[in-house]
Amino acid sequence: MKYSLALILLTCCSITFAQSDLYVSNGSFVYVDGTAFLSGPNVAPLYVTDDVNLDTNGHLYLRNDAHLLQGNNVGNSGEGKLSVYQTGNSNTYMYNYWASPVGQNIAATGNSAFMPSNNFYREVTAPITSTPYNYTSGYDGTNTEISSYWLYTFIGLPTTSNAYEDWIGLGGGSLPVGGDPNGTLDSGYGFSMKGNTSGAQKYDFRGKPNNGDITVTLNPNRETLVGNPYPSAIDALAFIHDTRNSGISDAYHPVEFPYMTGVLKYWEQATGATSHVLSNYVGGYALYTISSTGTESFTPAVFRMYLLNGTVAGGPSAGTGTKTARRYIPVGQGFMVEGTASATSVTFSNAHRVFYKQSDADSEFFRTESTATERETFPETEYNEDGYNIVPTDFKRFRINVGFDNNGNDSYTRQLLMNFHYTATDGFDYGLEAPIAEQVASDANWILDNTPYAIQAFNYDESLQIPLLVNIHNQQLVRFGIYDVQNFEESQPIYIHDKQNNLYVNLQDQAYEITLEAGNYTDRFEIVFQNETLSSQEFIDEDFLVMQNNTNSVLTILNPNQLEVKTISLFDVSGKIIFKENNLSTKNRYEFSTKNLSDGVYITQVTFANQSTKIKKVVIAQKN
């Protein structure tokens, strides 16, 4: 049954308003205020089982994080308009990636293509009065004009060799022609757009609401800019593990023929851009995936610079992203996905749609087929005080922050995430691993099949030896630190093994710093959980103390239990050996002069007769 609604205000109470069909007659409107409604996967301020029909001058206003959810795979109709807001955070020189929740308000039933000149409005008087944006072909947008020059979509074509060539202006213009505000884009595809002088700008998407299955073509081993095509949030778990995208239905076995990698790539641009010149762009991709049981994996963007031809500059990176991708993808959010060798397409579905407010903790804008069939749900994601996803007890995890310090300038961090789960294999694990989109000149990564990874997974075993590759553009200090250690026993070491210096540094206790010359270090560092030099004999810190006395310029080692010492060595942070004392007699105290050493951080390594090793970092600072 259809209802002709002259005026409905849904503002006062936390109940779901449900319709079998929704018809808004000419000159009428429905206003939905999401303020009083609580987020949840199976609720919504407005849920329509079948179709929405907005008559010629009928309006449906979604305000304050209100969403429209629909059940059946049917087409909406009418020449009226749904209106939903999204705020971009880019200035005149910065991009956001977008996807439209609406298409042109044409009478024909079904989804219609997005057209900027038809569907982009700006607010005039809150809460419902808006007017169409104007457009300029110039480079700079304003509070009332969008620069159409920067309206592009990205389709990775097998015929192109340079990804820069895959940016296509709306309306078909290739770089550097720019876009056309009258150009169209099919639902499900994403597009780029720069902002205006105010930075944070509210955009009013108005048109026919998208609904039902929306399929986007992918090319094998190439990226495509896609996005949330609905006037509601979508669940990344449901999208990534939809069998039409993952290629399998069994959640606990390796994916044989996925159509995408299962990784969502979110563009983040460094703040402070002051130029349209491509070589001044600084930005990168944050990587997100989620397991079939709801465990999230995310690493932030590493910013990089671009040359005039669109390739990544050879110099150092310029910082690390601050945004964190979450499970629920907001209205209007665009992102990259990469097709696999088996890629044909990916599909968005009503089964992916959820009511989850962007203002809640599990969603951030970078900047079911029927009610009788409910999708499988999992417990809501929880985060610790540092903002990291708390994993289930059958997972283990840690993050390695590899910091690059180019003589105090251009410091940045590459964060690498390591997952452990009994379902992980030695091959690619869909929903648990993520290749790195692009690397910067000095960088670090895990490795699988000669492909660099930012997120990797294994079935945990103490005998694992996990290569950690480092590439250095020019001589600099590199720091290895461990964070977000979950479900490891406190007594379980997590070593970085510097094979060249035969050093095992337990990152659970301290970071490891070393100055590296330019080069590609593919076989020097690894993460291990056993120190091959250790025997079964153990000791605690009180049994053996390493101290630096900077007043007297003396390195002092206390051995109160008379442990038998074989060698004592001192290294600088570059790995250069300063001294190595062999065949030491057993004493309760050893002293070595540091008077002629430069100020800095040094590493002491003591090897005992039973082949166990103690490593201690000391700071030498000469007194005048």
| Domain spans of the chain, in order of start | 7-106+113-270+321-354, 396-528, 541-620
Please tell me the predicted confidence (pLDDT) of residue 368.
28
- Please give the radius of gyration of the chain, using alpha carbons only, rounded to the nearest integer: 28
Is the pLDDT assigned to residue 327 strictly greater than 80? yes
Least confident of 249-258, 332-341, 388-397, 615-624: 249-258
Burial of 538 (0-12, 13-18, 19+ CB in 10 A): exposed
Q: Degrees (nearest 5) of the Cα angle 349, 354, 355?
A: 145
Is the pLDDT assigned to residue 529 strictly greater than 60? yes
Is the pLDDT assigned to residue 12 strictly greater than 60? no
Residue with tokens 């329509």: 48
Q: Select from 355, 364, 325, 350 the least CA-distant residue to 65.
A: 355
Least confident of 40-54, 226-240, 491-505: 40-54
Please tell me the predicted confidence (pLDDT) of residue 511.
83
Please tell me the predicted confidence (pLDDT) of residue 10.
52
pLDDT, tens digit (0-9, with 9 covering 90-100), for 19-37: 668 999 999 999 999 887 8
Please state, in angstroms and rounded to a whole number, the distance separating the CA atoms of residues 594 and 323: 45
- The single-letter code of the amino acid at 518 is A
pLDDT, tens digit (0-9, with 9 covering 90-100), for 280-324: 667 789 999 999 999 999 998 886 544 445 555 444 445 667 788
Is the pLDDT assigned to residue 331 strictly greater than 80? yes
The fold of 541-620 is Immunoglobulin-like (2.60.40)
Quote the pTM value. 0.80
Q: Average pLDDT over the chain, rounded to whole?
A: 84
Distances (CA, A) of 402 to 343, 390, 493: 33, 22, 18
Please state, in angstroms and rounded to a whole number, the distance separating the CA atoms of residues 54 and 269: 38
pLDDT, tens digit (0-9, with 9 covering 90-100), for 143-163: 899 999 999 999 887 777 667
Given pLDDT bands bounded at 50, 70 and 90, which one contains residue 274?
confident
Three-state secondary-structure class, residue 247: coil
Please tell me the predicted confidence (pLDDT) of residue 201.
84
Is the pLDDT assigned to residue 346 strictly greater than 60? yes
Is the previous residue joined to 127 through a cis bond, with omega within 30 degrees of 0? yes
Q: Select from 389, 366, 364, 365 the least CA-distant residue to 378.
A: 389
- Residues recorded for the chain: 624
Given pLDDT bands bounded at 50, 70 and 90, which one contains residue 103?
very high
pLDDT, tens digit (0-9, with 9 covering 90-100), for 153-202: 998 877 776 677 788 999 876 666 789 999 999 999 999 999 887 667 88
